[in-house]
Structure 1
């Protein structure tokens, strides 16, 4: 089990207690939720979004998809999915596709789907395809306190 160095430093620096949950290697957040036997609506999935002047991290439950049209309307900016190269540059200590939703650890603003607020417990990728991080919902809400909250996720 590994946790990305920047993520670990951020969680430790904020005093956020967490547990790691190992699971067999998976390719998607939905597969990770299934492999770890956790509800998909409580696993926060990160989607890197390219803007004309930077990036934003869109965070939705693993059971949902980001509605790019809705998100574009919310942000009132042209956007698209970030390229794999951009994701590698931003999340340089993570495997591609295993980026944590804690944008503050990487200097990336976050917009989070409302459905992830106020949960009892939340899981998210720890930086590889074999480790999830588990935190209380209250601690996840603290981690997301500077994120913009909106409704832009739709069940996949």
Structure 2
């Protein structure tokens, strides 16, 4: 498996050019950052969360964790981590646990950590555990144009 077809189609619709960066198998985005010698702050990690009855995508640097309390306060409701089995139907064309941090491609509201707003370029999983997608900062912001943002990482 390579890049998710849903993600690829969304990036095409947004006019976003990207590079694929292959790497050794890495189950976590932080390990993919290490494998490719890219600083973790430049690798975006998607985390599927459940806020009330709604699934959302929280996006933080791979070197950080989602601060669920801060995110819940920002949203005004309780937030919990969704388990991997809950992601199967939402991310059917992705390997288990390889969630692209572009919720809009999958019909999900996205909340970005503020640290990812002004990046010159960003890397992220494209749907498998062997490929990072690289986009320029302006293209990253184009992909996330409907995303909310707050300080949500710890």
Aligned residue for 2:13, secondary structure, equals: helix
Deviation at 1:148, TM superposition (A): 0.4
Distance 1:67 1:153 in 2: 5
- Taking the aligned partners of 2:151 and 2:52, their CA distance within structure 1 comes to 22
Cα RMSD after superposing both structures: 0.9
The equivalent of 1:48 in structure 2 is 48
Say which SS state the counterpart of residue 95 (structure 2) adopts.
Answer: coil
Partner of 2:63: 63
What is the TM-score of this pair, normalised by structure 2? 0.97
Aligned-partner Cα distance in 1 for 2:13–2:109: 18
1:78 deviation in Å?
1.3
Measure how far apart 1:52 and its partner are: 2.0
Deviation of 1:53 after TM superposition, in Å, equals 1.7
Q: Which stretches in structure 1 are left out of the alignment for 5+ residues?
A: none
Runs of 4+ in structure 1 off by over 2 angstroms are none
CA distance in 1, matches of 2:79, 2:12: 33
Deviation at 1:3, TM superposition (A): 0.5
Deviations 1:109-139 (A, max 9, x none): 0000000011111000010000000000111
Residue 18 of structure 1 corresponds to 18
* Equivalent residue pairs, number: 154
In structure 2, what is the Cα distance between the partners aligned to 1:82 and 1:36? Answer: 28
CA distance in 2, matches of 1:124, 1:38: 11
Structure 2's unaligned 5+ residue stretches are none
> Is residue 2:141 matched to residue 1:141?
yes
Counterpart secondary structure, 1:85:
helix
Q: 1:51 offset after TM fit, Å? A: 2.0
Q: Supply the distance in 1 between the matched residues of 2:39 and 2:22 (Cα, whole angstroms).
A: 15
Q: What's the TM-score, normalizing by structure 1?
A: 0.96
Q: Does 1:122 align with 2:122?
A: yes
